C-alpha cells in the first residue's frame, strides 16, 4: 500500500507487536511466576518473514520482550546468532510441502545444532512453518526439546491455559496449573 501510494485507513501490524504493546501498557497482565520454581529454559525462533524481511530488529526485540515477560528473563537463552542474523529454520517458502524431505532436514541441521547449543527445553516459534520444521528436525535428529506457539505460554502466564490447549507441552507442563 505504501509502496504504490494506495490510500488506506488501516495499520499493518502483527500479534507479537500487539502483545508487546499490551504488556507495556498493562492491558495484558502476564507474569512469569509460574516458572519461578520450575526454571524451565526457553529459546525463540526469529522467523524470516517477521524478522529479517519485514519488521527487522524491532520485531526481534519485541519478540524477546514478550518471551522474557512470560517465561522469566532468567529462563530465556538466546540463540547465537539471533535477531536479524538468526538462521532460517529451513521450512519456509514451501519447503515443508515440496517433497524434498531429506534436503529440508539436511538444511535444517544448522538450526537443530543452534537450538541444541542453547540447552533450552522449549523453542517458541511464532511462525507455523518454523514450528513444524523445528519439531520435525527435532524428532529426526533426536532433539530433547519441545516446540510451542507463543500463545500457549501467553495463556499459561495469564493462568488461562485450558486442558485442551496443551498439545505441544511436555510431561513437565501437561498438567501444570490445572
Please, are residues 103 and 140 in contact by the beta-carbon 8 Å criterion?
Answer: no
**Residue 1 resides in a domain:** no
- pLDDT for res 92: 87
Q: Which domain holds residue 57?
A: 31-165
- pLDDT for res 2: 77
**Residue 144 resides in a domain:** yes
Q: Can you say how many angstroms the Cα of residue 171 is from the centroid of all Cα atoms in its chain?
A: 19
HSE of 109 in the Cβ direction (CA atoms, 13 Å)? 7
- In the chain, the number of structural domains is 1
- Give the pLDDT band of residue 142 (cuts 50, 70, 90): very high
- pLDDT for res 139: 98
- pLDDT for res 3: 83
**Residue 11 resides in a domain:** no
Type and span of the H or E element at 129: helix 128-141
Secondary structure of 75-101 in HEC code, one letter for each residue:
HECCCCCCHHHCCCCCCCCCCCCCCCH
Chain position carrying cell 516458572: 35
- Give the pLDDT band of residue 77 (cuts 50, 70, 90): very high
- pLDDT for res 54: 87
Q: Residue 123: what are its φ and ψ, rounded to 5°?
A: -110, 120
CATH assignment at residue 91: 3.40.50
- pLDDT for res 102: 96
**Exposed, middle or buried: residue 77 (CB in 10 Å: 0-12, 13-18, 19+)?**
middle
**Residue 25 resides in a domain:** no
**Residue 20 resides in a domain:** no
- Give the pLDDT band of residue 178 (cuts 50, 70, 90): confident
Question: Which cell numbers in the block locate residue 174?
Answer: 501437561
Write out pLDDT tens, residues 26-63. Answer: 999 999 999 999 999 999 999 999 998 888 999 999 99
Type and span of the H or E element at 102: helix 101-118
**Residue 21 resides in a domain:** no
Chain position carrying cell 529454559: 41
**Residue 89 resides in a domain:** yes
- pLDDT for res 70: 98
**Residue 15 resides in a domain:** no
- pLDDT for res 125: 96
How much is the mean pLDDT over the chain?
A: 95
Question: Which cell numbers in the block locate residue 31?
Answer: 507474569
Write out pLDDT tens, residues 80-114. Answer: 999 999 999 999 888 999 999 999 999 999 999 99
Q: How many CB atoms lie within 10 A of CB 39?
A: 11
Amino acid at each position: 500500500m505504501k509502496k504504490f501510494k494506495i490510500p488506506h485507513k488501516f495499520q499493518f501490524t502483527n500479534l507479537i507487536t500487539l502483545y508487546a504493546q499490551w504488556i507495556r501498557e498493562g492491558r495484558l497482565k502476564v507474569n512469569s511466576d509460574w516458572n519461578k520454581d520450575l526454571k524451565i529454559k526457553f529459546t525463540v525462533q526469529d522467523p524470516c518473514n517477521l524478522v529479517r524481511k519485514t519488521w527487522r530488529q524491532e520485531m526481534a526485540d519485541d519478540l524477546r520482550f514478550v518471551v522474557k515477560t512470560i517465561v522469566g528473563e532468567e529462563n530465556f537463552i538466546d540463540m547465537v546468532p539471533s535477531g536479524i542474523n538468526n538462521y532460517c529454520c529451513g521450512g519456509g517458502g514451501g519447503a515443508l510441502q515440496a517433497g524434498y524431505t531429506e534436503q529440508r532436514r539436511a538444511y535444517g541441521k544448522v538450526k537443530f545444532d543452534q537450538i541444541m547449543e542453547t540447552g533450552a527445553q522449549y523453542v517458541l516459534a511464532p511462525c507455523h512453518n518454523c514450528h513444524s520444521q523445528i519439531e520435525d528436525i527435532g524428532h529426526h535428529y533426536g532433539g530433547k526439546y519441545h516446540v510451542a506457539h507463543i500463545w500457549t505460554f501467553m495463556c499459561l502466564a495469564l493462568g488461562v491455559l485450558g486442558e485442551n490447549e496443551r498439545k505441544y507441552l511436555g510431561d513437565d507442563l501437561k498438567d501444570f496449573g490445572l
